Chain A
Amino acid sequence: MNDTMSRFRTMTGHRLFWPAAVLFAMLAANTIYRPGFLSIELKDGHLYGTPIDILRLSAPLILVALGMTLVISTGGIDLSVGSLCAISGAIACMYISKQPDQSSIAVVATALAMAMGVSLVLGAWNGVLVAVIGIQPIIATLILMVAGRGLAQLITEGQIITINSEPYRAIGLGHALTLPLAIFIALAAALLVAAFTRRTALGMIIESVGGNSVASRLAGIRSGRVIFLAYVISAACAAVAGFMMTANVSSADGNAAGLWVELDAILAVVIGGTSLAGGRFFLSGTIIGALIIQTLTTTVYAMDISPQTSLLFKAVVVIAVCLIQAPAFRARFTRRRRNAPPPAPVADKPKEQVPA
């Protein structure tokens, strides 16, 4: 009895427990409401079903949130990722649309390389503003958040660029090994970022800079370079997410692509357990966070919640998730239960009179 209790406590104490529990609870609620929710079927060699859809649709968010995790861990924030998605998608689609053979692999590869190159430059711009010039991250990236939408419009000349490119479409809708390709892309990105940060010392150094920048400087860390790198990685992740978003619809819309994805990404990072104040980061937590957000969106559709109330519904769930995660809130909740019924209020002791 005692043993199971302590094991239970170790389990609930794990940093991934509460995000995973929330995800599980959401899936369970959906299944109760609609028993077929979790069913998966094989059709034409591809797996179909709501869980697969959730995974596929959450791929762009996972990508953006991975980069955001690193930026937040340095103690910063990157608001420009939504605009970067739009820019990268716009460049790729614009280039492809101008080519005679849109389905050529070479054309698509060139388009991706160009778009990625520009995104890296824009990420470097963010990095310079924050790490070299020393502008507050929220302001520095706000510049590109606003200007980037204009840039994307400029690239698409204000039009929605439609393309007909099978290889490009595959980034969003293709399949491999019965599963959507997007899932593998997101997974590969996650493994890549994890290797890049955890196989090198980058992760620890980012956490050190975010955790205590003064002490890190005195330990000889050149924090500017690390912070710069985080913004470049974030931009690269956003670029790939941009490809996915535009490939899903085979068109680039400078206005709508990646709109508000930065907010979802920040939310995913926070749900995953990384503190907005910087320091320790958890890539696996971030992925679960992104899945929670996508499941929530799917739930809203599945439960036929009217569009007018869906945002409110989302907000309520998000607040609940954040509260459940907060140790202070949980402590208060458990204490109150343990102390029930509440003790009678003790009359304030009369203030001690100090003798003259």
Chain B
Amino acid sequence: MDNILKTTGMKKSLGKSLLYTLPMFLITFMFLTGGKPNFSDTASGIALLTVFILVNVLFFFMHFTGKTDKYRAVLFIVFALSLSYTLINNMLEVRKAMYFSQADILECKIPFCHLVIPMMILPAAFTKSIIFPGSIIGGFANISSMVVLWLVATLVLGRGFCSWGCFYGGWDDGFSRIRKRPVIKKINELWKWMPYAVLIMVILSAALTLMPTYCSWICPFKAVTEFEQVTSVESATKAGIFLSLFGGLVIVLPVMTKKRTQCSFLCPLGAINSLSNKITPFTVKIDKSACNECFKCVGVCPLYALSKEDIRSGKVSIFCSKCGKCMDACPQNAIHYGIKGVPSGTLKNFSRNLFLFVSYLFMAVFSAGSIINTFHGLLKFIF
């Protein structure tokens, strides 16, 4: 009986789940419609309604079933795909091509993404200039709004940003779910530190060259967003690197390992976000009194953030992105969302409700625009 209670600990009744979904329902309604739903264009109306229902149904099921990652991943993956669609669509409308030219760079017309942030810090501090050729305010994907969004989300969620806000993470998250069992089961622990090495290299190279070197040379997501026009050996090499890294770290390795390998072994922003885990109010806690050391959580963690030693010591590592996959897998309900300062094993439901509301609201609000845009595009394409 005790065991049944533990495994169903996070489930809620239908009425309670509806009640917990109500604030999300109202806020997303206000955000998506501005309080005045407009159905004059049928395709836009259907897209808006579909996304609104999708967002709220997923949140309802998080409460009703007690599962987190299962429903988070749906929105997270849809967000990644739709963001790429929106970005590519915008490029094609504005430039008639996915690549950008030297003229676009000179006119600062390159859309900004959060992965540039680590490279901006030193040059901004020493030269008081932004090294990215994008628009500071106004225009599509401007620098100031992205920096503010990332900063707020990271201060609140820590590395949770990587599983609840990053519009690239859904790519390798999606591919990591394709196979039932991993082909590659063990990877050397040393590789976990690679994002820090990449971070150091890109910060230094960007500071020395005053160029966003990660974007210019490494970013695998150039393959699904925008890239430099191939006009020379150098630009062809860059395109080769982007495609190889996308193929290797975002498609092949996630499928083979069932892990988010790009996020685990490359992303320099992930390294900064990991450090921010130390200061955020939300955390993941291990209730050692409930844990029976089955280590199912270690096996399913997509970011190599949990080891047997972590479980035994009762602490998750700084790599944790609070995705909730370990919690969904735990038969004892021993691993749970927590708030710093509150002992593990206490206020489990309260901490989870609070964290889910904040993180899911952020993802819903952040992703809704691009998902609506994608649905709208698909509807227009079909009909």
Is this pair of chains taken from one and the same complex? no
